Structure 1
Amino acid sequence: MSRLLAPLARAVTYTRWLHLLVGAVIALVCGSVYPGLTRPGYGEWALMLLIPVPLLMVAAVIPVVRRAEGLQARMMLFPGAHARVEGGQRESEISVAPSASWRDRRRTAVWLVLRLWAGCAVAFVTGQLMALALELVDATSGGPAEAESLIPVPVHGWACALLVPVPPLVLIYVVAFAGRLMASASLGLLGPSAAERLAALEERTEQLLERNRIARELHDSIGHALTVAVVQAGAARAAADPAFTDRALDAIEETGRAALEDLERVLLVLRESAQPASRRPTLTEADRLLDSARASGAEVDAEVLGALDTVPGPVSREGYRILQEALTNVLRHSGTVPIRVAVTVDDARLWLDVRNPLPSGAPVNGQGSGSGLRGIRERAALLGGRARTGPDGGQWRVHVELPLG
């Protein structure tokens, strides 16, 4: 029963009704000029349906007409969630861009003609059924029944009172059905073109790539800072040495400050602020990462071959993040174990190699599936390089190769 009565309570039924009636306005305007609206016959009705068609064809050539029709369809055929209609969010499938091709113009022309004829049909049915309802009211009161509708009044007298609500109810259901058909037609005729769909897909892809990049930045910088802080705090508590505690607090402060800078830079990007974001760290500042790991109690043996300042900016920045994540994983999963770091630069490539002993009970095979390791592989792939992570001869190894070109 609720499903049967739903069209009566939905706002979309009445906005679609209005949308259909507006489509008939141009026919009424043209008909008022010729052949006239005084008791038109069937021939005159046919002329009113055909005379505006050339005007609509000309209007469809104007690019902005498609935008106007798209906006009307969005607001009146798909008025949103408040209309309590299934698929109420499908208005996004209606294009509001001007016509960009002759195919768009042809679809707009078909839509305008369809809207004209559907509007005239609904206007005719509306007039007939409302006239029938008034005739039933007159027949109930015993007044003279002037036949304005094509449907004859079936009975006279008080029994007509029971039939008075029938024409408005039938009208609403007819309008609801016609509105649903019109909404379906709008998705095909006013929907985005292939070029618009491709542009939207490219924009969505760019947004997803940017989200992934920001997620990697936050994971690497904030994750590293929190890992170092946790390890340092635990080591300071276990050592019970004031001097060690002071060094641990200094390391936590420095790491936290760097993480706050990274966080502020990412927030500036998210807010699209005009204020320039802070500079991202590069491999020339790798000593800060190594010192942070050493301050956590890990024994870090680092070897750098080649000039890090010759590495291009994008490669150097991503290399810094890869090294940061590799050291963070060691501290998080293996604790303060010896770490071997090798950074090699030649004319064509940058190699990063981080090794540490596997803790007892760790798996001896597998490539690792954590978000940090996945981020390392993604960073390498985006630069055209490759990354291998996993056990290697009783050690956990992160080996990354990045091209400099």
Structure 2
Amino acid sequence: MAVRLPRPPRFDVWVALAGLTGGLLLWGIGLGMRPDTQPMVVFDGRWPILVPLVVTACCELLRRAAPRIALLTGTAALVGDLLTQGNIATVLMYTDLMYAAVLYGTPASARRIPWITGLLTVVGTLVPYAMWREPEALLIGVGVGVVSFAPASTGLIVRNHREAADAALLRAEQTALLAEMDRTQAVTAERARMARELHDMVANHLSAIAIHSTAALSLDSPGTSREALTVIRENSVQGLSEMRRLIGILRDGADDLEPAATPTLDSLATLVEGARANGLDVTLDAAYDGVPAPVGLAAYRMVQESLTNALKHGAPGRVTVWLRRPEDALVLRVTSPYDGRDTPRAPGSGAGLVGMRERAALLDGTFQAGPESGPEGKLWVVRATLPVTDTVQGDT
């Protein structure tokens, strides 16, 4: 099967035409490199000069497409040129073939050709001098170095610079890709954080509003409706305040809406009082000391979401919030009566449990939630263990 060489680039075509044209002009005016009286001129006359010239010009067409073939064929043409009166254009085109073989050839060729040409330069310098003992003999080595070693070394230098530039470009692209991945992950993490904050801040108040508004609409009692509307108003105001706090966080640096302080475990009593106002029978049993801010916020949000779920899904009965801090962890447990019904008293999306699980995972903690049977009947139990260390980091 015949091997079809690729079409040469336009630049290589111009190089071949320029070399051939220049060689023909020198041949036309009769300007050769050696007189026909020299011993090494085997083919005297002007016409034999054209054969190496044309072959070398054709090799220039392959300087990038097939650099190894072009160099080997050009070397044979250069030897043939040495047996004639010679043409400087043939020699110049051969130096370009040597340069292109190192620059565009395989990595193995790029390593070997400079070594081979350097060795030939040394041999071409020492052997003639040792044979003839004439200073002029050193010029043979100089000629070999100029024709072979110099262009090969130049090609190696240019190739190394190009490879270094390509490696730098690849590193820059990889760095940009990593930066884009980091940005995407940061945006995703921030969106998840804001989703948790929005859900935890607003769901409790909206659930209370939905439940009490249903009671106000279903009961024909002015006193009950007034109490329900009072609870609705309180939860609306508190929900609006929480929304303003979230907007203040999103508008970081705004003068008119500065974010309020982040909730801590010290606010649990207030949270429990609000749940009682919404109709829950809640008891708080908490003992903790020196909890880092991320852990405190996560525990606060878990209690808040647990109370919201008890309001929406729980059966009548007592809800218990229990917190303790052993040596290196904050342990949280919230229990509420559970009757297993599928329809909640207020609509929900199920994102609360997901958010609590995410908060625990961000702090390398554990989280469990589900129904359990106990002495007091069937309960819904939320358990979380959050590690407490001086190096707790992360955004909950």
Relative to the length of structure 1, the TM-score reads: 0.49
User: Could you tell me whether the CA contact under 8 Å between 2:269 and 2:284 is conserved in 1?
Assistant: no
1:156 matched residue in structure 2: none
Task: Indicate the residue corresponding to 1:264 in structure 2.
Answer: 244
Rounded to whole Å, the distance in 2 between the matches of 1:348 and 1:362 is 38
Larger Rg over CA atoms: 2
**1:303 and 2:285 matched:** yes
Summarize the alignment of residues 3-402 of structure 1 with structure 2, pairs less than 5 Å apart: 41-43=17-19, 106-107=165-166, 193-238=173-218, 240-275=220-255, 276-307=258-289, 310-334=290-314, 336-361=316-341, 370-393=350-373, 394-402=378-386
Aligned-residue offset at 1:339: 1.5
RMSD value, Cα:
4.1
Tell me the CA shift for residue 206 of structure 1: 1.3
Contact kept? 1:232, 1:295, Cα under 8 Å: no
* 2: CA distance, partners of 1:383 / 1:240: 49
CA contact (8 A) 1:232 1:252 kept: yes
Query: Deviation at 1:243?
Result: 4.6
Corresponding residue for 1:125?
none
* Post-superposition offset of 1:299: 1.7
**C-alpha separation in 2, matches of 1:269 and 1:301:** 32
Shift of 1:103: 8.8
Give 1:401 deviation, angstroms. 1.4
Q: 1:313 to 1:103 in 2, by over 3 A?
A: farther
Quote how far apart the aligned CAs of 1:242 are. Answer: 4.4
Residue 396 (structure 1) shift: 0.9
1:28-64 C-alpha deviation (Å, 9 max, x unpaired): xxx9xxx9xxxx94449989x99xx9xxx9xxxxxxx
| CA distance in structure 2 between the partners assigned to 1:347 and 1:266 by the alignment | 34
Deviation at 1:202, TM superposition (A): 1.7
Indicate how the Cα distance of structure 1 residues 386 and 108 shifts in structure 2: closer, same or farther if over 3 A, else same.
closer
Aligned residue for 1:196, secondary structure, equals helix
Q: Alignment partner for residue 403 of structure 1, among 361, 381, 387?
A: 387
Q: Is the 8 A contact 2:315 2:337 kept in 1?
A: no
CA distance in 1, matches of 2:202, 2:172: 41
Where does the alignment leave 5 or more consecutive residues of structure 2 unmatched?
A: 1-9, 23-59, 65-95, 104-160, 344-348, 390-396
Contact 2:282–2:320 (CA under 8 A) maintained in structure 1: yes
Question: 3-state SS of the aligned residue for 2:263?
Answer: coil
Q: Counterpart of 1:150?
A: none
Q: Distance in 1 between matches of 2:249 and 2:315?
A: 34
Q: For residue 246 of structure 2, give the secondary structure of its aligned residue in structure 1.
A: helix
- The amino acid across from 2:337 in the alignment is P
- 1:298–1:338 CA contact under 8 A, matched in 2: yes
How much does 1:341 deviate? 1.7
Gaps of 5+ in 1: 1-23, 58-101, 110-188, 364-368
Task: Name the SS of the counterpart of 2:335 in structure 1.
Answer: strand
TM-aligned CA deviation for residue 327 of structure 1: 1.0
The answer to whether the Cα contact below 8 Å between 1:300 and 1:338 also exists between their aligned partners in 2 is yes
TM-score, normalised to structure 2, is: 0.50
Contact 1:221 1:259 in 2 (8 A): yes
Counterpart for residue 123 of structure 1? none
Whole-angstrom CA distance in 1 between matches of 2:220 and 2:337: 27
Higher relative contact order (CA 8 A, sep 6+): 1
The DSSP-based 3-state class of the residue aligned with 1:193 is helix
Distance 1:263 1:230, change over 3 A: same
Q: 1:304–1:251: structure 2 CA closer, same or farther, 3 Å change rule?
A: farther
Alignment size in residue pairs: 239
SS at match of 2:280: coil
Bigger mean CA offset, 191-200 vs 226-235: 191-200
CA distance in 1: counterparts of 2:204 and 2:277, whole angstroms? 13
Matched AA of 2:210: V
Displacement of 1:200 in angstroms is: 2.0
The sequence identity of aligned pairs, in percent, is 32
Quote the Cα distance in structure 2 between the aligned partners of 1:302 and 1:241. Answer: 32
